[in-house]
Amino acid sequence: MSYVGPDFDPPEPRRSRRRPLTFTVAALVPTALVGWLVYTAVADTGGGPADAAPATASSASPSATHPSAAPSATASPTAHGESSKASSSPTSRAAASGPLKGKVVVIDPGHNPGNFRHPSEINRKVNIGTNSKECDTTGTATDSGYPEAEFTLALARRLRPLLQQQGITVKFTQDGDRPWGPCVTERARIGNEAHADAAISLHADGAPAGDRGFHVILPAAVHAGGADTRPIAARSRDLGERVAGNFLRVTGSAPSNYLGNGTGLVVRGDLGGLNLSTVPKVFIECGNMRDSTDASRLTSEDWQQKAARGISEGIVSFLRGK
């Protein structure tokens, strides 16, 4: 837009030149119009679609393609706009570059939104080394009905791009792309076969109301049957401490007031996903879904993004060893 002010008033045209100018302009209009029509016809045959790129969902806004309370399906949109096909194989995605290129992290979204439809499959017993337990469970839910399995998928999908930005290859144990499971034995095996540098299982607790806060579960030094966590116990503790510290710092959530004596760390030897792991692995219970204070956080997309950032920064710190 041009500026016209007191010092820039346009000059008045001379009356003697008005007629020739009008004639010249009038003569040029048909020629210009013909030229414009020819240009438009050519442009319409070649340039249009190439100049208008289709709109895509930004990977910086996972909630655009994965709203936290959206029901899961056997084929659902992923954080990168692709379509997940029903499959029993884990989802794996590698970042192109970054300071941690070559590192592998396995994310295990706890449970599965479809587990409740397959009671016979998830209730069958599997051997976890120390004893036998159910293949999987349905998980818990908030009092308003928001399932833990939906929360863990939403959180995992937010966590994935944050790790990929560092160049890390990210593998999921499931991405809403299978009707149930996998069993806890398979969840551990996926991390082992990937030779993961770190693995984390995402959960939320179902304790009584009034119990609130997060805690990170570390593997005990188990040696029984097919389970031997002794080689990974120390490294898993290092991973867990870094995840807990960064989760606390970024989310502002307090450590559990009912487990861990205020440390936010709990050691257990009864979880198949930890017992059977041969790579550094921890569980995180991000809060208590049955407590109204925690539930308000767990169902918030803004808080979920903070939780993902806190977990990612803990994992990155562990992989850097700093």
Rounded Cα gap, residues 7 and 102, in angstroms: 65
- Token pair belonging to 228: 């031997």
- Kindly report, residue by residue over 109-150, the tens digit of the pLDDT: 999 999 999 999 999 999 999 999 999 999 999 999 999 999
Sign of the torsion angle spanned by Cα atoms 204, 148, 68, 187: positive
Residue 26: inside a domain, yes or no? Answer: no
Rounded Cα gap, residues 181 and 111, in angstroms: 6
Burial of 116 (0-12, 13-18, 19+ CB in 10 A): middle
- Kindly report, residue by residue over 174-198, the tens digit of the pLDDT: 999 999 999 999 999 999 999 999 9
Q: Which of 17-26, 133-142, 149-158, 302-311 is the least confident region? A: 17-26
For residues 270 and 181, the answer to whether their CB atoms sit within 8 Å is no
Rounded Cα gap, residues 314 and 239, in angstroms: 7
Rounded Cα gap, residues 113 and 111, in angstroms: 7
CATH code at 245?
3.40.630.40
Domain hosting 229: range is: 97-320
- Token pair belonging to 242: 């870094």
Of 148, 150, 241, 285, which residue is the catalytic one? 285
Local confidence band at 94 (pLDDT 50, 70, 90 cut-offs): low
- Kindly report, residue by residue over 259-308, the tens digit of the pLDDT: 999 999 999 999 999 999 999 999 999 999 999 999 999 999 999 999 99
Peptide bond into 113 cis (omega under 30): no
Burial of 64 (0-12, 13-18, 19+ CB in 10 A): middle
Helix (H, G, I), strand (E, B) or coil at 83: strand
Please say if 241 is a catalytic residue. no
Alpha-carbon distance values, 137 to 65, 107, 130, 294 (Å): 26, 18, 19, 22
Residue 167: inside a domain, yes or no? Answer: yes
Residue 236: inside a domain, yes or no? Answer: yes
Helices (H), the chain: 18-46, 48-51, 119-123, 148-164, 184-193, 233-251, 272-275, 292-298, 301-320
Local confidence band at 95 (pLDDT 50, 70, 90 cut-offs): low
pLDDT at 8 over 70: no
Residue 68: inside a domain, yes or no? Answer: no
Residue 175: inside a domain, yes or no? Answer: yes
Number of domains the chain is built from: 1
48: Cα separation from own chain's centroid: 35
| pTM beyond 0.85, yes or no | no
pLDDT at 52 over 50: no
